[in-house]
Chains A and B, each alone.
Chain A
Amino acid sequence: MGKHTVVPFGPQHPVLPEPIHLDLELDDEKVVRAIPSIGYIHRGLEKLVEKREFKEYVFIAERICGICAFGHGWGYCKSVEGLMNIEIPLRAKYLRTIWHELSRIHSHLLWLGLMADGMGFESLFMHSWRLREKVLDIFEKTTGGRVIFSACKIGGVRRDIEDSELHGIAEILRGMRDEVREITDIFFKEPTSVSRLKDVGILSKEAAVATCAVGPMVRASGIPLDYRVADTSGVYRELNFTPVTTDTCDCYGRCWVRVQEIFASLDMICQAIEKIPAGDIAVPVKGNPNGEYFARLEQPRGEAFYYVKGNNTTHLTRFRVRTPTNMNLPAMVEALKGCDYADVPMIVLTIDPCISCTER
């Protein structure tokens, strides 16, 4: 019988990217159980939908989270457009897809940096974020903001990107491939990193299905669950895309899945830039939303649902987001059982927790 301690992990902890509280019951250095509690960053954003007109609420929806900001803005617009039967122009769909895939790249590079930092590898953290700056500069130039874009609106997008600029972006992204490969190879080649990632946080296929995990968490357990395959209204059908899966079921696999997704997104953006048609970027919106609708999106962390309900006034009555981290938290608690204390930051980071999204 080892020494039994309870370590309060979070909500303020330097290794955690977001405020989540875990009570870790330790036996010497082995975690017996992890009891999570959330609620530290609840801001009541869903209640705020009753107080803002539906056309302005998009700015609040995109501020649910800083990392997946574009996704939330798009998800909200998609659900309201579906509710009001608005068909947005094809160019707007392409632009949204390009921004969303760029958002995925920046989110995964951010996550890679945090993973390196959690492992104690600060220089890799700094280099990953140096690469991410290039993507943020693209955002600043095209949307006007580095983190919060305010690019989506009901009916389309607010700003256009000229074709010359699109080709410039494609050039930058092609140049980034080699640098990204140089940095991400270190995760898989450096023996100290591999020892921290391999066989850590095992989530078997059955456990992944039982806890309803989504996103790279479940794709690393061998299940090809990716909404972009099922999306009929978007442009993913036109782009050459297959979900990235592996079946190692551990942190190494999830790291690998996210790195491959970066390269897949780089490819998809270049393809979208080739195929984008000329045309309008928005259609006018008339009338008020009435009824219920929900839309789905593949955020960098997994599948997200956006449900809206309107009663023919300018204010919606209900907006509900089911975020991917919501579903991955039970999977994380499951993976934490029986691990070493030193693996706790690895496993917490491996679900890419976005508690701001979860708690809104």
Chain B
Amino acid sequence: MGYLSFAGTILGGLFKKPVTTQYPLKPAVLPEELRGRVLIDIQRCISCGMCMRKCPAGAIVVDRSAKSWSINRFACVQCATCVDNCPVKCLRMEPQYAAPGTVKQNETFVKQAAAQPAVAVTLVKGVTPTASAPATGTQAAAASAATAAKTAAAPQTTPPGDGAGHA
């Protein structure tokens, strides 16, 4: 016969815990080896531009004169080619995915002469950064012609320059 032969597993399933994880109600448990997102130790960067040339997605922009390193997290495919090719090994992959957002934006890191690295967030498509950005005097190198200002539409990303875990 074999009718209802699956009933054993099905009824057993009723009494077992669900296997689905409770993300995002509970934080995700991700392994160490995960290729989550790229982080840079900007003070060690020598602005050689190797990562920019090797990136298959064209997500990295390096400006030698302004000593900035900028990544478009939505274009990045987490292949870790930049990490492998950096001559001073200032890039690393962090096992934490980039946070979702409502606006596509670049994340720019600028090497400071002083001790504190400054982080500024520029929004593409010519939106001015909101006033609460913790950047010091040097604004980001990417040009941001302020045409139409979207008021408070952009979420601020927390400055991840120091490798803080959860974005």
Contacts and interface: CB of A to CB of B under 8 A. Distances in A.
B3 A186 contact: no
B10 interface: yes
Interface in A39-82: 52-53, 56-57, 59-60, 63
B33 A142 contact: yes
A56 B19 contact: no
Interface of B is mostly: loop
B157 to A, nearest CB: 23
A314 B31 CA distance: 35
Interface stretch (B79-87, B109-117, B125-133): B79-87
B52 to A, nearest CB: 12
Interface in A156-199: 158-159, 182-183, 185-186, 189-192
Contacts of A240: none
A123 interface: yes
Contact of A190 (B3, B34, B56, B81): B3
Contacts of B79: 59, 150
B80 A150 contact: yes
Contacts, number: 59
A133 interface: yes
Contacts of B65: none
A182 B9 contact: yes
A56 B81 contact: yes
B44 interface: no
B9 A144 contact: no
Nearest to A57: B56
A145 interface: yes
A107 B77 CA distance: 22
Contacts of A182: 9
A283 B146 CA distance: 50
Interface string B16-34: 0001000000000011011
B5 A59 contact: no
Contacts of A57: 56
A191 B84 CA distance: 54
Nearest to A153: B84
A75 B1 CA distance: 46
B33 A133 contact: no
A186 B6 contact: yes
A124 interface: yes
Contacts of A60: 56
Interface residues of B, number: 23
Contact of A158 (B6, B31, B54, B84): B84
B80 A144 contact: yes
A141 interface: yes
A150 B56 CA distance: 12
Interface string A255-285: 0000000000000000000000000000000
A4 interface: no
B165 interface: no
B92 interface: no
A191 B31 contact: no
B35 interface: yes
Interface of A: 52-53, 56-57, 59-60, 63, 123-124, 127, 130, 133, 140-145, 148, 150, 158-159, 182-183, 185-186, 189-192
Given A141-B33, A159-B33, A186-B6, 17 more contacts: A59-B56, A59-B79, A133-B19, A142-B33, A143-B33, A145-B34, A145-B78, A148-B77, A150-B78, A150-B79, A158-B80, A182-B9, A186-B5, A189-B2, A190-B3, A190-B6, A191-B1
10 contacts: A56-B55, A140-B30, A140-B34, A144-B33, A144-B34, A150-B78, A158-B84, A182-B9, A189-B5, A190-B5
Interface of B: 1-3, 5-6, 9-10, 19, 30-31, 33-35, 54-56, 77-81, 84, 93
